[in-house]
Amino acid sequence: MKIALGIEYQGTHYCGWQRQNHCDSVQANVELALSQIANHKIDISCAGRTDTGVHGVGQVVHFETDVERQLKAWVQGANTKLPGDIRMAWAKQVPDTFHARFSAFARQYRYVIFNRPVNSAVLHNRVHWEPLRLDEESMQRAAQALIGEQDFSAFRASQCQAEHGRREVQMVEVSRRGDMVFIDIKANAFVHHMVRNISGTLMMIGKGSKPESWVAELLAGKDRTLAAPTAPASGLYFVNAFYPDEFEIPCVELNEVLWQ
């Protein structure tokens, strides 16, 4: 049978999602916990790999097993064996046609900025701190140039292994709640560091260092070296992967998490 799981994690102490031989990863911890529950080796596939220090609240994975367990046993059992900064949120049986990565038609990220003169101790490594006041309305107007299918090479990391930079951004919204500024982006797919590079660029516009037209200019120029530095990983969250209704995969509601 094939089981899908929802996973949330704080990525601060991990070298990203993907299993690696030389460091501790989220994937390695999840596979070890599930293997202990299944009494056999479990390999998982995820909706979207995240980098070192990046967090997740709606990561989706799947695995296959012949072992019969109640769905709550996968969640509750694995959680007893996971470190406190990784948790299973739900489990459900899915058809053999489901794939956590390839069945997803869109993904959503949120970049969280703590925007006040003094940093927060309790939010350390969970947000990006920006002491200068950001104009979120200017950032929102500039961000609308990102909507649609276009070449995002200006926001693509040099080490990106994708064949090309064309992606379709379906939604981008910059909003503020008190001292928190949120950059929410939904797209069919992302190139490497795309959200963090966009966030860095929008913050420069929010601080008044660049005009609102800069985003459109960067997109047209397709030159990564002309855009802003990559925003720190601590502010980035993988929020949701979206699937056809037939799979009935839960989504995270943004108004319920992340200081909204």
pLDDT block averages, 10 residues each, the chain of length 260: 96 94 93 95 95 96 93 94 97 97 97 97 96 98 97 86 83 96 96 95 98 96 93 97 96 67
Tokens of 192: 């490497």
pLDDT at 259: 53
Look at residue 247 and tell me if it is in a domain: no
Q: In this structure, are 76 and 178 located in the same domain?
A: no
Residues 6+ apart with CB under 8 A from 198: 143, 146, 155, 172, 183, 185
Tokens of 232: 């720190």
What average pLDDT is seen over the chain?
Answer: 94
Q: In this structure, are 92 and 117 located in the same domain?
A: no
Q: In this structure, are 181 and 88 located in the same domain?
A: no
Query: What is the DSSP-derived secondary structure letter of residue 85?
Result: T
pLDDT at 194: 95
Look at residue 249 and tell me if it is in a domain: no
pLDDT at 86: 98
Q: Which of 49, 70, 103 is the last residue of a domain?
A: 103
Q: In this structure, are 117 and 88 located in the same domain?
A: no
Look at residue 94 and tell me if it is in a domain: yes
- Structural domain boundaries enclosing 185: 106-239
Which residues are catalytically annotated?
51
Look at residue 117 and tell me if it is in a domain: yes
Q: Are strands 236-242 and 55-64 parallel, antiparallel or unpaired?
A: parallel
Q: In this structure, are 27 and 77 located in the same domain?
A: yes
- What is the domain-level CATH number for residue 155? 3.30.70.660
pTM above 0.75, yes or no: yes
HSE toward the beta carbon, residue 241, CA cutoff 13 A: 30
